[in-house]
Amino acid sequence: MSGPLSVNEALDQLDLLNGKPVAIRGILRFEFEHIAIWHYPKAERRDAAPFGKASSSIWLSTGSGSVQLNERGLKELDGHRVSILGTLHAPDPLFGGCGHMSGTPAEIMVSSIDRL
C-alpha cells in the first residue's frame, strides 16, 4: 500500500484496487443515511450520473460482524479531513452502487480513521 489516495484517485482506480487495502484521504461526512468520505478539495468533486452529487464519495462499512463504527467518534469527525485505512470494494453488480440506496460508487471496509 502506498501513500493515501484522494477519493477521486481511488474511484478512478477502482478496478485495480477492488478488494485491496488502501489509505484514502478526504472529508468525513456523518449524516442521516449517508456515512462516507468525500473528495477534498470540494471544488474538484464530481457530479455525474448515476450517483449525482455522491460521485466523489465512498461509503464507510464495517461488514456484518460485531465490530461497528463509533457513532460518537464519527460525530466529532464530521466535516473534518481524515485518512481512512481499509479494504476498498466495488459495488455488487446487482445493486450498481454501495451504501444506502446504492448511492455511492464504492465502499471501504474500515480498519481505522485518523484525523489529519
Would you list the domain boundaries of the chain? 5-115
Residue 66 C-alpha cell reads as: 460485531
pLDDT tens digits, residue range 102-112? 889 999 999 99
Judge contact between 88 and 19, C-beta under 8 A. Answer: yes
Judge contact between 63 and 109, C-beta under 8 A. Answer: yes
pLDDT band at 31 (very low <50, low <70, confident <90, very high): confident
Task: Compute the mean pLDDT over every residue in the chain, rounded to the nearest whole number.
Answer: 89
One of 1.10.10, 2.60.40, 1.10.3470, 2.40.50 is the CATH number of 5-115, namely: 2.40.50
Q: What Rg value do the Cα atoms of the chain yield, rounded?
A: 13
Q: What is the mean pLDDT of residues 91-113?
A: 88
